[in-house]
Amino acid sequence: MAATVADYVVVGAGSAGCAIAYRLAEAGKSVLVVEYGGSDAGPLIQMPGALSFPMNMPRYDWGFRSEPEPHLGGRILATPRGKVLGGSSSINGMVYVRGHARDFDHWRDAGARGWGFAEVLPYFKRMEHWHDGGHGGDPDWRGADGPLHVTRGTRLNPLYHAFVEAGRQAGYPVTDDYNGRQQEGFGPMEQTVWRGRRWSAANAYLRPARATGRCTVVRGLAERIEFTDNRATGVRLADGRLVEARAEVVVAAGPINSPRLLMLSGIGPAAHLRDHGIAVRADRAGVGRNLQDHLEIYVQMAASQPITLFRYWTLTGKAWVGARWLFTRTGPGATNNFESAAFVRSAPGVEYPDIQYHFLPLAVRYDGQAAAEGHGFQAHVGPMRSASRGDVTLRSADPRDAPRIRFNYMSDPQDWADFRTCIRLTREIFAQDAFAAFRRHEIQPGEDVRTDDDLDAAIREHAESAYHPCGTCRMGAVDDPGAVVDPECRVIGVTGLRLADSSIFPRITNGNLNAPTIMVGEKAADHILGRSLPPSDAEPWVNPAWRVAQR
């Protein structure tokens, strides 16, 4: 069977892989992108308001599920991962959050030299085409001509403004750009939507890359990385085809599939590989370890006025939303409907926000099931920096077998205290005068759920993943036994192989992970090309009273 050859082979047409392919093709290199999933065409992916559909469709989603979670009553949680052009950027909620400046300084201090905020900010700016929509913001901190369109919703529903005003009334700061100088506070939320359409990594990066004629997508399941001596030279597909790289192989298959592919290729914890009959090429204990995620709970309120998105929750209502989007690219279908947000600190002595809010003018689950009460609204809330860690391990040596995913949620005792704080702070926000005209009663957890034990029971039953897995091939110093890649994204212990996606995060960032994952792709491409952008001297805002005040 004839081999296919290019300068670079990128495994995974997801958020980071598309960015890498684009920058390499732009620089004149030939690129082959290996992707198991199919086309992202069709309204269910491209219509932002339909976001609950693609992440629940086997056509677009790998369909991974966690092992029973011991601290969540043995629940098995869905772990959606994009199996489609654009990867998880084609099935996610389209929320755009860079992360806090201190997140990246932590990466630098943990051994990822060159990945502090000063070094990553130029890449965030390079990738963005930011549109403030007349809502203010920090243009000096934002990018104006990158491939990734970042916009704000119209915020026509009064509940979006009630949420921000309630935060202000509760004593929190207001920020007009949480992706600018000041993350902390309440304000408008940003989304990767452009002209009413999901602006995924496939739309932003892969299509322009393919248009150069130097980037080709190869459909197939990556079975293992091929080596000559200790150098990665290509990727063997499950159907026997070999895709060869003249220069390097770049794995960008995501936080579940990247460690799986490394382990199937003999890179990982030696004893675990031997258990599955896999010859050990590089004994790297950190492969599959350090799995992190954001867990959240939906605090839901019944609404006293029929102004929520529930008005469209009928067959005719959904048909109207769909038709309006199809013909005009406007209306509730043209937004992810997360249009207000907040980042706050849980206690005095916490330097920067460790709680995130997504506000939604509808009481609904991610699977699209609306609350029985009808009209309602909700805040998704959860701690940002849990100390709990899980792992991704092989179920077998068969590349078609899903790996074992153990998040180990809520395994750190502090998680329980943090979650109770999240719920109580949210109730305080919903009790402000700004919501007086809109609130009826609490749906979830429920107004009678007050004691620590009752709150813990509600958390155990209702906490859900925010779908932000990361950290399973963490970046660090070459002499760090737990690191998998060095600060130039080279896999430690072999040559000719890089890895760049959210699995390299040393620690999870504040907020949703799509933006920092694309940034990793942008910066990794420059490492591959032997270049870098000059660091920024911008100084982020940190609350001057953080040592003594919670707000």
Residues marked active site are found at 468
Distance CA 34, CA 11 (A): 5
Distance CA 298, CA 461 (A): 12
CB atoms within 10 A of CB 231: 14
Tokens of 205: 């990066």
* Beta carbons of 176 and 136 less than 8 angstroms apart: yes
Taking Cα atoms as reference points, which of 404, 384, 385, 386 lies closest to residue 394? Answer: 404
Q: Is 1 a known ligand-binding residue?
A: no
Which 8-state DSSP code applies to residue 280? Answer: P
* Beta carbons of 452 and 420 less than 8 angstroms apart: yes
Give me the numbers of helices (H) and strands (E) for the chain, helices first please: 13, 25
Q: Is 485 a known ligand-binding residue?
A: no
Q: Is 84 a known ligand-binding residue?
A: yes
Distance CA 457, CA 45 (A): 35
What string of H, E and C letters represents the secondary structure of 487-530? CCCEECCCECEEECCHHHCCCCCCCCCHHHHHHHHHHHHHHHHC
Torsion of CA 343, 346, 347, 349, to 10 degrees: -60
Q: Is 5 a known ligand-binding residue?
A: no
* Beta carbons of 98 and 519 less than 8 angstroms apart: yes
Q: Is 203 a known ligand-binding residue?
A: no
Determine the 3-state secondary structure of 33 from DSSP: strand
Distance CA 76, CA 407 (A): 10
CB atoms within 10 A of CB 181: 16
Q: What's the CA angle centered on 184, arms 181 and 186, to 5 degrees?
A: 110
Residue 429 main-chain phi, psi, to 5 deg: -65, -45
DSSP string over 369-396: PBPTT-SEEEEEEEES-----BEEE-S-
Distance CA 309, CA 510 (A): 28
Tokens of 531: 């270049």
Q: CA distances (Å), 449 to each of 74, 417, 453, 462, 465, in order?
A: 22, 15, 9, 13, 21
* Beta carbons of 528 and 26 less than 8 angstroms apart: no
Q: What's the CA angle centered on 254, arms 253 and 256, to 5 degrees?
A: 105
Annotated binding site: 84, 92-95
Annotated binding site for FAD: 84, 92-95
